[in-house]
Chains A and B, each alone.
Chain A
Amino acid sequence: MNAVTPIRTPAEQALIGAFGALRDAGPAAAALESLRVDGFARFEATGLPHRRVEAWKYTDLRTMMREAKPLAGAPDASALLAAKVAVGRLPRVGGSRIVLIDGHHAPDLADGGPLPEGVSVSGLAEALVRRPELQALLAGQPATRENTAFALNNAFLTDGLLIEIAPGTAVSHALDLVFLTSDGAAKLTNARVVVIVGAGATAGLVETHLGPAGTDYQKNVVVQAIIRDGARLEHGRRQLEGSEALHLSTLEAEIGAEAHFDTLTLTSGAAVARNQLFVRFSGENARATLRGVSLLKGRQHADTTLVMDHAVPNCESRETFKHVLDGEAHGVFQGKIIVQPIAQKTDGRMMSQTIMLAEGPAMDNKPELEIFADDVACAHGCTCGELDEDLMFYLKARGIPSQEAEALLVEAFAREAIEDFGDEGLGEAVEELRAALLASVTDWMLART
């Protein structure tokens, strides 16, 4: 049998080289080592995904990621100082702020007072030594494990953050988690955060992703959330990356019995973004609400790909994703709901809606329902259109200029996905986040020309 040597793109070669350099730099903790080796082997077997890989049909990463930037190291003193200024300019949207610079935890940049009682933050590598059982969690759910972005994140896993909410804790303010890419030469950031919400606990977490405009930096971030029985997690994301950035994000969630997970992503940054959600119910009578609003202009490309796995009976999921497209932007929504054979009484509803503000944009929608149980309610819907002329005329007839009228209508469109986000227990913090997200929709509309 002849061995086949695949032709590697420059990006793939660079990634392979980076893995080798990391390995040569010294041995990692044993647990990390095996995750890395497994992740790398998976990447090496397939290379970067391209359009003939169904899950990446509309986001040909092999073409879009021409080169791989050097792996970001820990920020030096001057980078930290500059980062402190950049992070300081970003208004907090919750309680305690936790900052990662280039994927590395920067405790000195924490803000908003000490962590609330019952919340602990520790280094992932160190936690893994104490608690080897975390390794199975980090290896990912079966569907996640097959994903190339996730495999690459494991291949380059050096450390990360473990955020734990003790069972029964009610955290009154969301944690404000900031991922900043520092200035300077473009780099590839590998970031990993694991959140474990203990049984019966309630918590909120807001991620904000940002970095320098005009630099084609790359980020591959994985957030894994374990929501134990009876717990609630409200998770918000603001993807405000620099205009030239490549942003790969994977959110994996495992939801226990009678637990509730609510996630909302606002996407307006990056040249190319892939926002992946792998969510699985592992206990009955749980609820998940997955939503997103993408605001894209120019030649931006953003892909939201989700897999909602109803693996047990009696769970409810709602998937609501909205795109607002201008210029020659390209939006992608791939939503898959899986109802396993035992998952009777599943209730799943998925909706993708798009407003086109110009002639140039394109939107690809791919809803998939894989239903193997016979007593379920599942539906999906999809709309795509321009702003309603009658509504526009009514607003203009009251003196409101076109651009402002459009902003009002687009904000109303986005509001549906944003307004009932969040748990009442998180009160003001969620209120602030909702207000911040709606304001960023309006700002985006008014600034777009």
Chain B
Amino acid sequence: MSLLKIKNLTAKLADEDKQILNGLNLTVEKGQVAAIMGPNGSGKSTLSYVLAGREDYEVTGGEALLDGENILELAADERAAKGLFLAFQYPIEIPGVGQMTFLKAAINAQRKKNGLDEISTPEFIKLVNGKAKELGISPDMLKRSVNVGFSGGEKKRNEILQMALLQPKVAILDETDSGLDIDALKIVADGVNAMRSPDRSFVVITHYQRLLDYIKPDVVHVLSGGRIITTGGPELALELEAKGYADIVGKAA
């Protein structure tokens, strides 16, 4: 059964005419880790933003079903509440909004939409401290404003912390490896791997095969020109790493 099914999706920037996604079809099965690779400008980040509901993109056709429900008409916060999570390529600094305030607001927003009471403060603190420790996030980082003064690696770990707290059905990791050294990459990958479960799917967007050494995909899709042009097993990533994109993009064209 598929947790995420994208049918014939076309999209563009709201204030430009050029289509970036051109009839994209993608199915991610429950429990699957799907890697999406592709050259610069192929539409990888657009796909993640369109799925997460960023308002400066306009969907011009197609649908995206999350656990059977089309989410493209929903606001970003409603999609998140239904279990969609985007780990940002460039996590944003929010001066003045405390990390704990933010995490609590996110958890409670999700609980509220699912008809649950707000989390109690002791329960919340215990939960966050436990997950933070696993990800090597210091108590000091939890006291600061969201992402303010964090290194690139700390910001990415913070994304994984949010994912671990929100326990999404489908997590999209947008170039989570960018800007990470090997040690940070391992911590992030361990965080993701710890969350792999038969009930959860991951879409791992990356330029490079390296991340996939640590987060082993079940399936690899190649995105080019706003469409999936080929799909294969983990060996496809190795092949791309060896030969580059030009060959495979050329064949598909």
Contacts and interface: CB of A to CB of B under 8 A. Distances in A.
B127 interface: no
A402 B56 contact: no
A173 B106 CA distance: 36
A391 interface: yes
A91 interface: no
A90 B29 CA distance: 57
Contacts of A123: none
B86 A409 contact: no
B77 A412 contact: no
Interface stretch (A69-77, A249-257, A349-357, A393-401): A393-401
A399 B80 contact: yes
B101 A408 contact: yes
A402 B78 CA distance: 10
A413 B91 CA distance: 20
A28 B85 CA distance: 73
B81 A399 contact: yes
Interface stretch (B47-55, B224-232, B233-241): B47-55
Sorting the interface of chain A by its residue count into under 10, 10 to 19, 20 to 34 or 35 or more gives: 20 to 34
Interface string A414-431: 011000000000000000
B76 interface: yes
A194 B113 CA distance: 52
Contacts of B106: 398-400
A293 to B, nearest CB: 13
A409 B94 contact: yes
A404 interface: yes
B55 A401 contact: no
Interface residues of B, number: 29
A398 B166 contact: yes
A412 B94 contact: yes
B97 A401 contact: no
B55 A402 contact: no
A389 interface: yes
A406 to B, nearest CB: 12
A394 B95 CA distance: 13
Interface string A282-294: 0000000000000
Contacts of A396: 53, 75-77, 80
A390 interface: yes
B96 A415 contact: yes
Contact of B109 (A389, A391, A394, A401): A401
B125 interface: no
A322 B97 CA distance: 17
Nearest to A390: B92
B162 interface: yes
Interface centre among A393, A397, A399, A405 (most CB of B within 10 A): A399
Contacts of A389: 55-56
Contacts of A411: 96-97
B110 interface: yes
Interface in B18-66: 52-56
Nearest to B106: A398
Interface of B: 52-56, 75-77, 80-81, 85-86, 88, 91-92, 94-97, 101-102, 105-106, 109-110, 113, 145, 162, 166
Interface of A: 389-391, 393-402, 404-405, 408-409, 411-413, 415-416
30 contacts: A389-B55, A390-B92, A391-B92, A393-B52, A393-B54, A394-B94, A396-B76, A397-B53, A397-B76, A397-B77, A397-B80, A398-B102, A398-B106, A398-B162, A399-B80, A399-B110, A399-B113, A400-B77, A401-B75, A401-B109, A404-B105, A404-B109, A405-B77, A408-B101, A409-B96, A409-B97, A412-B94, A412-B95, A412-B145, A415-B96
Given A398-B105, A401-B75, A408-B102, 10 more contacts: A389-B55, A391-B92, A394-B92, A394-B94, A396-B77, A397-B76, A398-B102, A400-B77, A412-B95, A412-B145
